[in-house]
Structures are given as structure tokens and as C-alpha cells.
């Protein structure tokens, strides 16, 4: 979900491993967790015309972040939401990240809006709620744990039945449990500080310098895979 051609400058990521291939970022993340050989990872860049697999042909889904706002309501966004609606009927797990978190929240009846005060960018702590402290997604994390943020919009109204798992001072739904083994996080556990700093290089050099290494953040992906019964 990174972005359609022409919506952003892909040369921003020229110095990053894999360039602007978000699937490669996930693969490197799995490698760092020593999980690359235990997960059969496939990606579909729907915003660039890739075809999604049949919903019954996947065991778990991760919906990545995006340069696009949910409010753009583009054909590929509607197609993705339609596919996710079919996938949800399977009861199989899903983790939605940043723009994916917003897309899923809106699809399930929540509301997304622009952040007051402009973009949230940098490595910032989230505060786990009581539900978050008990949740397998945050196993091994402290009640206050830092993650990388890079967003202009956020979820301002959770979908019916969703549980807030984490928040920040600016973002009330930094993580949500949507029910049915579906989870969403506004932050980026899959991306490195250099990946995201590159995103802000031309927009705001000051924001680009607001990231720091957070090697422990990737554990959230391992926790998701454990909860999804993809690994033990």
C-alpha cells in the first residue's frame, strides 16, 4: 500500500535496502527476527495494479502503510476494502499498519480524520491500555514502549466493538483490536528508522531527524505471527 506511481517520489528510498519495496522491508524484518525461513511471504501492491490472491489462499494478512489518505476513496482502496470484507468472513488473522490501520477502521465503521497540529513523525512512546497489557500483540513490551510513527491522519472514532490497546497524547487509537483476530496499529513495527526518515527528507528535514533505532519494535510482528498460529 505504499503508493501509486506519481503520488510520491520513489527516489526518496534510493539509499534503502529494497528501495521503496515495502514487502522487502517486511522480509528484512523477518530476517532480523530469524523468521524469514519460517514464513512464506508474498506481497501485492494493489495501488500499482497487482492482483490480490483469492481470500481462501492466504493464512494471514498484513495491510501495510500508505502515502494515500483513506479520504481519497480511490478505486484500488475500494477494491482492497472489498477484498478484506471477503477475507474477514474466513476468521483468519490480520494486522493492519498505519494507512492500513485507518483503512480497516473506516471499513468496519470507524472514522478517520487529519491530526490536529500536523503530521506525527518520529520515534514516540505509546501507552498500553489495560486491554493492551493483556494482549498477545504486546507480549514482552513495557506499558510505555516506543515505536516509529509517520502519519498525517489517524482514527478518531473506533469501529463498533473494537478495543483500544494503546494510545499516545495525540492519537487515542494507536492500536486497536477489531475482533475476529484482526488488529491495527498506527505505528510502523516493520520499518527501520532510516526507512521512515527517508520519507520526510524533502518534506521536513527536522522530522527526518526525529527517528532513532528501535530494534525491539519488530517483536510485535513476531507476536502477531504467534497469535496467528503461523509460528510457535
Binned at pLDDT 50, 70 and 90, residue 44 comes out as: confident
Listed in sequence order, the DSSP H helices in the chain are: 22-32, 75-88, 99-107, 130-134, 193-199, 205-208, 219-227
pLDDT digits (tens, 9 = 90+) for 153-175: 999 999 999 999 999 999 999 99
Q: Which of these ranges, 37-46, 160-169, 206-215, has the smallest mean pLDDT?
A: 37-46
Calculate helix-pair angle for 75-88, 99-107, nearest 10 degrees: 70
Q: 3-state DSSP call for residue 179? A: strand
Largest CA distance in the chain: 44
- Judge if pTM exceeds 0.85: yes
Could you read off the pLDDT of 112-155 as tens digits, one per residue?
A: 999 999 999 999 999 999 999 999 999 999 999 999 999 999 99
Domains of the chain: 10-227 (3.40.50.880)
Mean pLDDT of 14-26: 88
Amino acid at each position: 500500500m505504499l503508493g501509486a506511481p506519481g503520488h510520491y517520489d520513489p527516489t526518496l528510498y534510493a539509499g534503502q535496502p529494497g528501495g521503496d519495496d515495502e514487502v522487502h522491508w517486511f522480509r528484512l524484518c523477518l530476517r532480523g527476527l530469524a523468521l524469514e525461513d519460517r514464513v512464506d511471504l508474498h506481497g501485492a501492491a494493489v495501488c500499482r495494479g497487482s492482483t490480490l490472491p483469492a481470500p481462501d489462499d492466504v493464512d494471514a494478512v498484513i495491510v501495510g502503510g500508505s502515502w494515500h489518505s483513506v479520504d481519497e476513496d480511490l478505486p484500488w482502496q475500494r477494491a482492497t476494502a472489498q477484498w478484506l470484507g471477503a477475507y474477514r468472513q474466513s476468521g483468519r488473522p490480520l494486522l493492519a499498519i498505519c494507512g492500513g490501520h485507518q483503512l480497516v477502521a473506516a471499513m468496519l465503521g470507524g472514522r478517520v480524520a487529519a491530526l490536529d497540529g500536523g503530521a506525527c513523525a518520529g520515534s514516540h512512546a505509546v501507552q498500553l491500555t489495560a486491554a493492551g497489557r493483556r494482549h498477545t500483540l504486546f507480549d514482552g513490551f513495557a506499558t510505555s514502549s516506543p515505536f516509529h510513527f509517520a502519519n498525517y491522519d489517524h482514527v478518531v472514532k473506533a469501529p463498533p466493538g473494537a478495543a483500544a490497546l494503546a494510545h499516545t497524547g495525540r492519537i487515542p487509537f494507536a492500536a486497536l483490536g477489531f475482533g475476529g483476530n484482526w488488529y491495527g496499529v498506527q505505528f510502523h513495527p516493520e520499518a527501520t528508522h532510516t526507512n521512515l526518515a527517508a520519507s520526510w527528507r524533502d518534506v521536513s528535514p527536522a522530522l527526518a531527524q526525529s527517528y532513532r533505532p528501535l530494534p525491539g519494535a519488530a517483536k510485535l510482528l513476531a507476536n502477531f505471527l504467534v497469535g496467528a498460529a503461523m509460528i510457535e
